[in-house]
Structure formats: structure tokens, C-alpha cells
A and B are shown apart, each in its own frame.
Chain A
Amino acid sequence: MQTVAFHSYRGGVGKTLLSVNTAVQLAKFGKKVCLVDFDLRAPSLQSYITSESVFSLDQNDFVSFTEFLIGKGSPEEVINPTKLENFYVVVSDIEILQNKSQTRSKLTQHGEGRILAKLFEFIRYCNSQEFEFLIIDCMPGVTYRSLDALVVSDKIMIITRPVKSEITGLGLVISECYSKLDDTKFYAIMNQIETIQDLKNQPNQMDLKIAQDNLKGIASTLKNNNLEIDILHSFRRVPFVTERIYVLLEDPHPFTKEIQEFCQKLISL
């Protein structure tokens, strides 16, 4: 089983959109996939999957992964099968964070490695159930919980956009965090990239220069460190892409095609 974490320095870069679409597409390719919402701060997987009738999932049916992490329930209880063959989901909820302060601190702070141990227990269970891919949608940034997901993953997909502040953050997270994770493979995924064609059509020369500089900035940040981080895929900016599972659409969408291409690369890694 491959445990693949989708991580980014900051939120809002398209992590969940990419991880959900990737997981569903992998399942459509016949791979047994479990998608885990480990963004405990802002879980959003539930809204993605319950809005798609193809999964036939009811919002009230879920046992929260957050509860499992604090010791309630077993791994099998939190894995929800869907109507889509080979596709399973694990959702989190934020309500538990508003309960007792003791529970909250267990989840939000160091936690003596207990949450990490629970997460690993869950992964071992998935392994025993012969899943081929475990896709973890991580919490962004460097918190103890995002570290947990990074520590247990075999491969980490670093999602980044060509924005100056994110390039600085990427450099920081590589030197402070990723460089300390031995035995883990890192791949960069650039999201919302302007194609050469798009750039050519850009009438404002200043914006054009900034866009080009930012692309170079990402490349040099990835290059100028001790880790080998290849750019696995660049997703082009597609107008009007919203929070949807595009790979389920009957009509081919440009984003679907990109996800399919990305999944092929992921399978062959």
C-alpha cells in the first residue's frame, strides 16, 4: 500500500480539490483507495462527497476520524464504503474540537505522540485490508498534526502555487521540516499555473514578468536544497474550477484530463 500525503505550506492552494479528485480517479482506474480527511482544522471532505449522489452517502452515517484519533471507535468503523467501487472515505469533523478542553488539547498539541500512534494504527489496518492507495489530505503548514501525517507517509505531494509568499513558505518548510524526514519521497505539484499560451495573452507586461519570475522561483527553491524534489505535475489554471469532483463528470473536463494524467504518473512511481 502506498500512503500518499497532500501537503502545503498554506491553506487554499487546492489540496483537497486535488486529493479528492485524485483518489476518485485512482478508484476509477481500479485501484482500491481510501481517502482520509486529516485536515482537522478545516475538514471539508464531507461536503465534497455528500453533495455527489453517486456515492450515496448520508451525512449522518459517518463516524468521525477525529473521534477515532482520541481513542473512540475502531479503524473499521471510520472507513466508509461508497457506491463507487474501490472508493472508501474517512471524514473528520470540527465539532469535537469545541468540546472538552482536555480533548481539544489532545488533538491540537504535542499529544506525546499518541495521535501519531493512532494514525499509524489506522494505516496498518488499511494495509491489512489490502488498500492500494491511502490518500491523506493533510492540515496545511507545520503543526504537530501535519507532522503526524508526514511521518507516516511514504510519499508527500507538496502543493504549491506560483505566488511569491508561497515560494518563501515553501523554502522555509523544506529547510525546517521536509529535510528532517528521512526515507520519505517528496514530489512537488504546481497548481494554477499559467500556460505559455496564457502568458502570451497577458497584456500587462509587469504581471507577465511576475508570473515568470514566480515559476523560476519555485524551480530554484526546489533545486537549492539537499532534498531531491522533482516537479511531478503542473496543473494549469482552469477558470471556474470550484469545489467539485470533476472526474465524476460525464463530459470530459480539462481538469479531469489533467487529473487522469497525474494519476497515471502516481501509479507508475
Chain B
Amino acid sequence: MSKRKGQEIFEIPSEEDLAEYIHKGKKVIQHIEEGKTPIYFKPKRQHPKITFTIIFILVLSSSVIIMVPAMISIFSSINPSTNQTTTQTTYTTQTTIPSGEDPVTLSQSVNQLETFLYQFIPENYSNFAPFMENNSINTSKRITFQEILDFIWLLSQDRDSEWRDLGRNLLYTEYRIWENTSIETESLDLKAHSLRALLSYPQKEVPLIGTEKSSYENRCSLLWNSIKEAVDITSNTISFQENVSIRIADEQIIFLDILCAGTTHGELFNYNELQGYAKNILETLDEIITNINGIPEDFFSNLTEFNPIYSFKDQGHLFLALHALDHSFDLGSLAQSLIQRLDSFIWNYLTRVDWSCNSYYNNTSHKGSNVLASYDQGLMIRNHILMDRLSSANYTANTLRQKLSMSNGGYIISNIKNSSAYLIDQVQILVAFKELIELKNAHESTTGPSMASFWGLQPILIMIIGLSIKRLRERKRKR
């Protein structure tokens, strides 16, 4: 009698893995509750079979990991002119890792960033968000309406209740963006940004009731109807400009964001309709990304011509959107396949010598511009976090933090190339740093002995190797 598969194959976690699974599982739930894309965690290999080769590789790689930074620091001290974190303008593959003690911890950076941000957001929101120019605050300029919408979208992704609440207040109670009737007469581009912001908080977090709720829902429906009309069913792309064949990557991504956000408003949207649009657009992107691995800034609806200039911001945004799509819809392997390809592209070509990324690059040579925008670095950190790459996220964050500067009593991260600092950049980095702290905490609660204790383990490992060699010899003798 054949044994039924599936009857006895449900994996039983070890006690340690069980605690980790519960801890991380609760985080997944928390993320979903907050309307965020959950960070899925990698499975731990159960009861690995320890062989001589594995032990040998372990000892060898651990020694390399310890010795290389040590050697680097020795050589650095010998040759003080070697600065590991100097930004290089030509593209090279990453060979060095930023090292050395950070002047402040990541949490301190977050505190300082928050202090800086609070200066610009007075309680009445009347004059919030001027931006820095040449290291001084330019109060004559205000944040634009579109920036406010993107600001809200970004704040809704923060898991910290205070910042998250700020976005919600701006949207529904204090600034009451949702009530702005002019949205309906604006350009399609602004309508899309508006709808994304309006849907940024899940249905259950919308604090409107009665007629206000109905007006809000009506506005969302009106915006949705006019935006979805801009989808071209032959090319499966969207264009916010009328009668043009050029498709802008950013517009596709914003539309994908709207589709994901729509799933958190079940009463307003038809899930199958949203999923249909998501599938179609991803199939088109799949075609574009096949040949060149990244997404061009703009492309033509016939999918044969691309702008040779690419923006990291698009890759980073698409990466976040793909993770959200993969969670929100049943897209088979489509989203995952794009995630893997885009990730491999970012990992292989876009990380620079100091683990930061170019804002723009050319698709044929992957040669980047010399502009390193802080916003992009924040995105890159978040991309690494989604792939559970703690060390890479750390390195990019460290590089970025070395660019932090004190100015005008505030603590800012300026654009790496020039001295302007935009509110939205600071918030992107704030979100990235906070997510990184969460990931670090999750890793710390689950990782085993630290590197410092490695040397303490050396005698044990040597003993195991000795025993393994002995056993191998005994086996040979028996033969």
C-alpha cells in the first residue's frame, strides 16, 4: 500500500526555531495590520548535517571574515591617506566595506532626524516643510501639493504610531487633504498621487463617518474611474499624459501602488479588477525587464525603444511595489520572478564601492552619474531589508550616516552631491533607519554567538575537525 504523501511531512520546529517563528510571525501580523508589506523571513535549515567539508568551510570563511577587516584596518593605519568611505565618481565593483566605530548609534540618528523634522512641522501645519538650500532653511518656499501627497504616502509606511498618525492627521483631520475638491479637476498625474495618498491608510484606519465618509468614498471612486481609463489595454501600460506613446516608469509604479492600496479598501474596490490590472502591467514590465534587467525611466508603448538613462529611484520604488503586490495579489511566480531579477540587478551593478547607489545610470554600461541622492540610499536600505540582507543595509546606512551634518541647530541628511535637503528625503531615510533597527532587533534576538566569541569557539572547532579527520582515517583503515 502506498503511503499518502502529506500525511506525515509537516515540519516540526526545534524549540529555538519555534520561539523565533512566533516572534517573527507576530511581526508579520503587525505589518499587515499597519497596512505594510510584511517582511517574510527566511527559513532556518533544520538539523543541518555537519560534515567535515562544512566545518572546514565554516572555519575558513569565519577566519577570512575576521582577518580581512583586521588587515584593512592595519593597512589603513599604515597609510592614513586611504579613506574607505570616500565617494568615488567612477563605477567599480564593491571591494571594501565601510568599517570603524560609528560616532552615533542608529537610534541616535533617528532621534536627531526626528528632532529636525519636528522643527518643520508646527502644530497648525500652516507653514510646514520649507527645505534646506545651501545649508540654510529657505522659508520662502513651501512644500508643493504633490509633495504633501507623497509625504503622506511615505508616513503611512512608517510603523511608528506618531509619524503614522501625523500622516493620517494631515489626510483626514488637520490638513484634511481628502476634502480638497480641486483634486478632481487637476491633471491625471496629480489625481494619481492624490488617490494613492487617499488610500494610503487601510479602510479600518479611516476616521471618517457618516456623510464625510460617503464624500471621501465618492472622491476615491471618481479618481479611480478617471485613472483606470488611462490604462491602455493593448500595451497594458498607463499614461497620465494624453495621446502620447511614451510610458513613464514612475507612472506605472504609482498605479501599482494604487492597486495594492485598493486591496485594503475592500468596500470601494473590486479585488479581481485590481488583480487583473496588476497582472497585465507586471506582464509588460516583465517583458521590458527581460532584456536589460532594470526598468528604464521611460519607454514606448510598442516596447521596442527605451530611454538609455535609468533612475535608481524607479528601481527602488518598483522593488517596494513588487513586494507589496506579491503580498496583496495572487500573481503566481510573476512578482517573485521580477523581484529576483531586479534584486540581482541592483546587487550586481548598482552598489558602488561605498555600498551606495548612483541616482542615475546608463543601461548599456551601468555607468552611473556622480549624483548620490540621499532619498535613493534610503530606498536602497529598504530594498536590502526586504531581502533580509542586514549587513548590506547596514553598510549603506553607515555610508549615509557619515554624510549627516549638523546645520542650523538641526540634524540633516543632505543630498550627497549637493547641499539641498528636502523634507521627503529625510522621511524616507527615517523610515529606512527605523526598519533597519527593527531588522537588527529581529536578528539580534535570533542570532547565535557574536563574532567576538568566535575565537572562543576556535578550540572546539579545531577539536571537531581533529575528530572528523580521525574518523575518516579509521574508515579508510577499515576498508
Contacts and interface: CB of A to CB of B under 8 A. Distances in A.
B42 A147 contact: no
B6 A181 contact: no
A147 B26 CA distance: 11
Interface stretch (A46-54, A117-125, A216-224, A229-237): A117-125
A57 interface: no
A151 B25 contact: yes
A214 interface: no
B203 to A, nearest CB: 8
Interface string A95-116: 0011000001000111111101
B25 A116 contact: yes
B32 interface: yes
Interface string A123-153: 0110010000000000101111101100110
A71 B28 CA distance: 17
A59 to B, nearest CB: 19
A41 B7 contact: yes
A257 interface: no
B18 A148 contact: no
Given A121-B32, A151-B22, A40 B40 contact: no
Interface stretch (B8-16, B64-72, B114-122, B125-133): B8-16
A113 B25 contact: yes
Given A121-B32, A124-B32, A97 B6 contact: yes
A192 interface: no
B98 interface: no
Contact of B28 (A104, A110, A113, A139): A113
A74 interface: yes
A105 to B, nearest CB: 9
Nearest to B388: A112
A147 to B, nearest CB: 6
A265 interface: no
A147 B266 contact: no
B292 interface: no
B231 to A, nearest CB: 22
Contacts of B40: 112-114, 117
Interface in B10-59: 10-13, 15, 17-19, 21-22, 24-26, 28-29, 32, 38, 40-44
B327 interface: yes
Interface residues of A, number: 39
Given A40-B10, A71-B330, A108-B10, A120 B21 contact: no
B13 A94 contact: no
A147 B25 contact: yes
B11 A108 contact: yes
Nearest to B327: A117
A58 interface: no
A41 B6 contact: yes
Given A94-B6, A139-B10, A112 B25 contact: no
A177 interface: yes
A121 B332 CA distance: 18
B22 A180 contact: yes
A142 B18 contact: yes
Report which residue of A110, A113, A141 has the largest number of chain B beta carbons within 10 angstroms of its beta carbon. Answer: A113
Contacts of A147: 13, 18, 21-22, 25
Contacts of B22: 147, 151, 180-181
B24 to A, nearest CB: 6
A83 interface: no
A56 B55 CA distance: 61
Given A94-B4, A110-B21, A180-B18, A144 B26 contact: no
Nearest to A94: B6
B43 A98 contact: no
Interface string B189-220: 00000000000000110000000000000000
Nearest to B29: A120
Interface in A153-174: none
Nearest to A183: B26
Contacts of A40: 10
A114 B335 CA distance: 15
A219 to B, nearest CB: 25
Contact of A97 (B5, B11, B25, B28): B5
B271 interface: yes
B275 to A, nearest CB: 9
A143 B44 CA distance: 14
A72 interface: yes
Contact of A151 (B17, B29, B42): B29
Interface in B407-465: none
Interface in B386-419: none
Contacts of B15: 176
Contacts of A74: 271-272
B282 to A, nearest CB: 15
Contact of A141 (B12, B28, B44): B12
Contact of A144 (B13, B29, B203): B13
Given A112-B43, A124-B32, A180-B18, A117 B38 contact: yes
Contact of A112 (B42, B204, B266, B272): B42
28 contacts: A41-B6, A41-B8, A71-B330, A71-B332, A74-B272, A94-B4, A94-B6, A97-B5, A104-B5, A108-B9, A108-B10, A110-B21, A111-B43, A113-B24, A113-B25, A114-B40, A120-B28, A120-B32, A125-B266, A128-B203, A141-B12, A142-B13, A143-B11, A143-B13, A144-B10, A151-B22, A180-B22, A181-B22
Interface of A: 40-42, 71-74, 94, 97-98, 104, 108-114, 116-117, 120-121, 124-125, 128, 139, 141-145, 147-148, 151-152, 176-177, 180-181
